[in-house]
Amino acid sequence: MKDSELVLLSAIDLRGRIARGELKTSEVIEAFLKRIAEVEPEIEAFAFLDPELARNAAKAFDAYRATGKALGPLHGVPIGIKDIIDTVDMPTENGTILDAGRRPGKDAVVVRRLRAAGAIILGKTVTTELAVYHPGKTRNPHNPDHTPGGSSSGSAAAVAAGMLPVAIGTQTNGSVIRPASFCGVVGYKPTHGLIPRPGMIRHNWELDTIGVFARSVADAAVVADAIVGQDPFDPDTRLTAAPRLLETALTEPPVPPTLAFVKTPGWDEAEPETKDGFAELADHLGDACVEIPLPETFAEGNPAQHVLMMAGLARNLQPYAQRGRDKLSKKLMDAIEEGGKIRAVDYFEALDWREALNNGLEQLFDRFDAILTPAAPGEAPKGLASTGNPVFNGLWTLCGVPAISLPLLQGPNGLPVGVQLIGRRGEDARLLRTARWLVGATEAE
């Protein structure tokens, strides 16, 4: 198999071929390193990459497979880690010069679980400055003059450019769903608290969520399966039965799903072509898609999320401002200063909105399998000074519901536009199954 063909294989296909002896892990890693060498100079998705470290790991994985011992569910699959998540064998610099050369003493929980599953950490992917607003160096693989989104810019771009089959990102506002939309890949943000977060930079743990970038729903599911579960140092995780995400995602729905097409309070900010695309999609789905208005109270969602995020930034990133205010961007300093002015009563009122809005969603999910809504206002904006508008993301992050962006539409300049599906809290497996059904329903057109 040619290297150019190998790097297009799914993560599930890669692990299967490695397990059957049809491919060696070293062959897989060499193919991806070759692809990185070809396109990374233009895309700049990696914050850290050590080819020899990856090659040595691949040799060790091949030697382990030769023993005949049981293999992990991700054995030999290369993966990228957003550079706000700690890796003991690689720097974690958090997108700021203030952490240049920082070497964590141990892996983050999610990295430890990926290694236990057999994944090879190929490199660290670019984040915006401290995973907030100020863009990093990464460019959109579809057009380098356009933003890849953020803050998980490198993870989304690396998967879109074929430099990685899968990657890990994080979301506090729209940092998985939006870059997935802009870069034309699958972006999965799980239910809040499904994946433990110790070992990553903290903004506000009421919102912070680890997510997955992949080329398919199934690939996102197999990675998530390896990292979900309770951790004693993450109070938002729970000791529950494994959700069996991949197993459920690969099944056919017992009955055809019904989607609630929702024009959120940000609908006026959607581009005309996005509105037209969703009208055509809803028409194509026919009776399987019903337009449902949200109560006016949902207009409080994005403002409440903003209050929580800004206050969290002020609390958790203040040490950076104290260490080196002159080394931080004006965007970040403005955010920290804004957060420092938020009153406690406003913070707790924003928390109250989370549960109030979720109560409203429960009634909707009693009737529908998922909510259908844009992942972003449109295609990736031109220019690299901004990571785009998160208006279609904050509400769902506040509510802690699972969300997934699917690359099903295209903008006027030929760039991808994501279709976002939202599921009930805790019903991630059902959401992923519905997402696969939707992909199939659009492909059959």
pLDDT of residue 262: 97
pLDDT of residue 307: 98
Task: Respond yes or no: is residue 10 known to be catalytic.
Answer: no
Catalytic residue chosen out of the listed positions 26, 155, 175, 405: 175
Closest to 11 in 3D by CA, of 217, 251, 227? 217
- 198-219 as b/e, with b when 16 or more CB fall inside 10 Å? bbbbbbbbbbbbbbbbbbbbbb
**Ranges of the chain with pLDDT below 50:** 445
How many angstroms separate the first and last alpha carbons of the chain? 31
Name all domains of the chain by residue range, CATH numbers in brackets: 79-445 (3.90.1300.10)
Count of helices and strands (H, E) across the chain: 15, 11
Catalytic residue chosen out of the listed positions 82, 124, 152, 405: 82
pLDDT of residue 443: 87
pTM of the model: 0.98
Task: Respond yes or no: is residue 151 known to be catalytic.
Answer: yes
Task: Respond yes or no: is residue 189 known to be catalytic.
Answer: no
Summarised one tens digit per residue, pLDDT across range 330-348 is 999 999 999 999 999 999 9
| Alpha-carbon radius of gyration of the chain | 21
Catalytic residue chosen out of the listed positions 24, 26, 124, 151: 151
Contact 407/425 with Cβ under 8 angstroms?
no
pLDDT of residue 444: 56
pLDDT of residue 354: 95
> What's the DSSP call for residue 107?
-
